[in-house]
Amino acid sequence: MKKFLTMVFVLSILSNNILSQVNPDMEKVKSIIKDVKEKFAPDKRVAVFNIEAEQPEKKIIIKGETNLPEAKNFLIKTLDAEAIKYEDKIELLPSKHLGDKIYGVINLSVSNIRTNPDHPAELSTQSLLGTPIKILKKGQWGFYLVQTPDGYISWLDDDGFQLMNETELNEWKASEKIIYINEFGWAYENADVKSQHISDLVAGNLLKLLSEQKDFYQVEFPDKRIAYILKSESEKFNKWYERLNPTGESILETAYRFMGVPYLWGGTSAKGMDCSGFTKTVYFLNGIILPRDASQQVHTGELVETNNGWENLQAGDLLFFGSKANGEKKERITHVAIYIGDGDFIHASGRVRINSFNKAKPYYSEYRDNAFIRAKRILSSVGKNGIERILDNEFYK
C-alpha cells in the first residue's frame, strides 16, 4: 500500500510539472484568441469568428471557423511570434463542402432569415427578391448560413434563394432588371392580370428583364421562372437608380407609404417591419444601404447637435433611442425613427406611425422623449461614414 501511494504521489508531481509547462501557453493562446476576436469580429451579427483552443495532450489545437481570412492570418502570426507550438484546424468560410456554389440570389418576394437553422427559430432579418447573398456553409434541415449586402449573417432555408456559382451570379448582376415600386402586388403567368399568380411582390423586389409586352414587363426569377409584371407598378432598375436624388422630402415621401404597416420583429418589407427594418427599407428605396439594426445604424452618418432640442434636426435624420450609459451599464440603443419636422418623427412601433417630441401635439410620446439618445444625418454621408449607395456595395457590383 505504501509503495502504491508513493507511485501515485510521484505521478501527481509529474502531472503537475507537465501542466505547469503547458498551461501558461494555453492561457496565453486563449487570451490571444479573445484579443483577435475583439479586434476583427466584435459584432457577431456581421462576422463569424468561432475559434477555440483545446489541449487533448501536450499539443495545443486551434480549431473552429471564421469568414475573415485576415483575422485568421493575424491570429497565426501572433501565435508564431510567441513561439507557441500548436496545430491549426481552423476552417475558413465559405466551407469547401459547398464547392463553387458559394453565392445565391433571393428567390421569394421576402425571405425569412433566422438566428438558427430551424423554422421555429427567431426571425433575425429578411431579404428581398433579387438580392445577391454570400453562402458560408450548409447546416441542418436545408438551411444555409448566409450573409446579406448589409453584412448580416444568419440562417436561410434553401427555398428562400437560388444557389449560384460565381459565373451565374455575375450573369444575374449584369442582366437588365426591373424594380418593383408598389408596396404590394403580383407577378402573373401571362400578360393578363386575370391569369395565374406566379408570386406576390413587395417594394424593392428585383427581377431580370426579358422583354416588354404592351402594359407588362416579361421577367425571370433567379430560379428561371418566367412571369409578367405591370409596367405601372415597376420600373427599369437603371432608369430608376439614375434618377434618384435622395432628399429629406423623398425619404419622408417613401416613409409615409408604409403608414399602418404592422410591426414585425426582424421584418424589412411592406409585409411587416421592425424599427430598423423600416428605416433600412425606406433608405433602400432611395438607393441607399443602411446597416441592419438600430445599434449598428447609430454608428453611421454624421452626428447632429441636439443638446438644445430638435432645432438642428432636418427631415430624414435618424433618431436613436434606448438607455444611456450609467455607472457600469453601457449605452444601449434599442430603437430608431426618421425625423419629420417640428418635433415629429415616423417609426415602426406597434405599426408604422407618427409620434412627437413636441408636448403640444396630441401624439406626443413621453416615453420616446425620455429615451432619446442622439440623432444622425445620413444624407450628408452617402459614400462615407458607413453609408453606401446600392451599386457601390460589393454584393451588387
Average pLDDT over residues 281-292: 98
Task: Convert 202-233 to b/e letters by CB count within 10 Å (16 or more is b).
Answer: bbbbbbbbbeeeeebbbbbbbeeeebbbbeeb
**Helix (H) / strand (E) containing 235:** strand 234-236
Q: Are residues 127 and 152 in the same domain?
A: yes
Calpha distance 351→345 (Å, rounded): 13
With a pLDDT cut of 70, the percent of the chain lying above it is: 94
Active site residue 299: no
Q: Are residues 261 and 311 in the same domain?
A: yes
Q: Are residues 167 and 106 in the same domain?
A: yes
Calpha distance 157→114 (Å, rounded): 9
Partners of residue 286 on adjacent β-strands: none
The CATH number of the domain holding residue 155 is: 2.30.30.40
Write the DSSP string, 252-281.
HHHHHTTTTPBB-TT-EETTEE-HHHHHHH
- Reduce the secondary structure of 1-60 to three states and give it as a string: CHHHHHHHHHHHHHHHHHHHHHHHHHHHHHHHHHHHHHHHCCCCCCCCEEEEEECCCCCE
Which of 277, 286, 332, 290 has the alpha carbon at shortest distance from 113? 277
Specify the pLDDT at position 23.
54
Model pTM score? 0.92
pLDDT band at 57 (very low <50, low <70, confident <90, very high): confident
Q: Are residues 382 and 301 in the same domain?
A: yes
Domain that holds residue 73: 12-93
- The answer to whether position 219 is within a domain reads yes
Q: Are residues 183 and 84 in the same domain?
A: no
* Cβ neighbours of residue 216 closer than 8 Å, sequence gap 6 or more: 188, 191, 228, 229, 230, 231
Active site residue 335: yes
pLDDT band at 59 (very low <50, low <70, confident <90, very high): confident
Calpha distance 168→72 (Å, rounded): 29
The total number of structural domains that make up the chain: 4
Looking at 97, 197, 275, 299, which residue is catalytic? 275
Calpha distance 39→298 (Å, rounded): 20
Over residues 76-119, the pLDDT tens digits come to 999 999 999 999 999 999 999 999 999 999 999 999 999 999 99
Is the pLDDT at 338 greater than 70? The verdict is yes
Calpha distance 105→396 (Å, rounded): 11
Of 172, 189, 220, which residue sits at a domain end? 172
Specify the pLDDT at position 365.
98
Is the pLDDT at 20 greater than 50? The verdict is no
Over residues 243-258, the pLDDT tens digits come to 999 999 999 999 999 9
Looking at 97, 119, 299, 335, which residue is catalytic? 335
Over residues 349-382, the pLDDT tens digits come to 999 999 999 999 999 999 999 999 999 999 999 9
Is the pLDDT at 236 greater than 80? The verdict is yes
Q: Are residues 217 and 341 in the same domain?
A: no
Active site residue 275: yes
The CATH number of the domain holding residue 271 is: 3.90.1720.10
Over residues 169-224, the pLDDT tens digits come to 999 999 999 999 999 999 999 999 999 999 999 999 999 999 999 999 999 999 99
